[in-house]
């Protein structure tokens, strides 16, 4: 389930022109993101979500994303956080409260073990509100990720125009992608050649 929070954090991206693109900019964008995450969400909630208020969905996703990104920034410290929101990060204690409250809405896990199938954990929500259940799944995902071993691999890409968090696959990996590494090497070469 940890990839759901990571996927939400990645909805802040570099726009290709030196700025930041928000993949949740509109209620329709938020709905599209939920559809893209359908399989991960269904794994947690064991059903398809029926979102009735796209505006509420967008607002809740943006709020929990702010909390997740603030906790990601805390996790990568003392290294700098992502440049996308480093100047407006939510207070870490407020982010913790928000993530914990969200996860609480998801309820508790129960063991489901059909006679003809493997056992599985199923979540029983404390609310019937679909948006609250989704936010709860994201909160639970953030808790699982930040309390797990992958937290130590979390990095903010230091490339000048990149705003991503990524999982470091190799101790020597500095950039989120080869493209960011190449851009930084080109920039460094340019600065050396032109005395900047």
The pLDDT value given to residue 1: 39
Q: Is the pLDDT of residue 196 over 70?
A: no
CA dist 127 and 178 (Å) reads 43
| pLDDT for 19 | 80
The model scores a pTM over 0.95 = no
First to last CA, the chain: 45
Query: Which of 91 and 191 is assigned the larger pLDDT?
Result: 91
**Mind giving me the DSSP string for 72-137?**
HHHHHTTS---TTTTTSPPPHHHHHHHHHHHHHHH-EEEEE--TTS--EEEEE-S---HHHHHHHH
DSSP-derived letter for residue 24 is: T
What pLDDT score was predicted for residue 100? 96
Mean pLDDT along residues 153-171: 91
Structural domains in the chain plus CATH codes: 2-167 (1.10.3300)
Residue 58's CB: how many other CB atoms inside 10 A? Answer: 21
Cα–Cα nearest to 56, from 64, 44, 48: 64
Give residue 128's pLDDT band: very low, low, confident or very high (50, 70, 90).
confident
């Amino acid at each position: 389930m940890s990839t759901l929070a990571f996927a939400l954090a990645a909805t802040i991206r570099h726009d290709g022109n030196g700025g930041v693109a928000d993949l949740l900019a509109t209620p329709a964008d938020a709905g599209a993101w939920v559809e893209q995450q359908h399989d991960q969400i269904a794994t947690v909630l064991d059903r398809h979500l029926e979102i009735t208020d796209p505006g509420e969905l967008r607002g809740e996703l943006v709020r929990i994303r702010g909390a997740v990104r603030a906790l990601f920034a805390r996790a990568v410290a003392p290294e700098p956080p992502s440049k996308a929101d480093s100047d407006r990060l939510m207070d870490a204690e407020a982010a913790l409260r928000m993530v914990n409250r969200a996860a609480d809405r998801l309820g508790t896990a129960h063991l489901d073990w059909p006679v003809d199938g493997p056992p599985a954990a199923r979540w029983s929500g404390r609310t019937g509100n679909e948006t609250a259940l989704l936010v709860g799944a994201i909160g639970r995902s953030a808790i699982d990720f930040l309390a797990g071993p992958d937290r130590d691999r979390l990095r903010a890409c230091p490339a000048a125009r990149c705003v991503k968090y990524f999982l470091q696959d190799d101790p020597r990996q500095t950039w989120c992608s080869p493209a960011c590494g190449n851009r930084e090497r080109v920039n460094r070469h340019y600065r050396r050649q032109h005395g900047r």
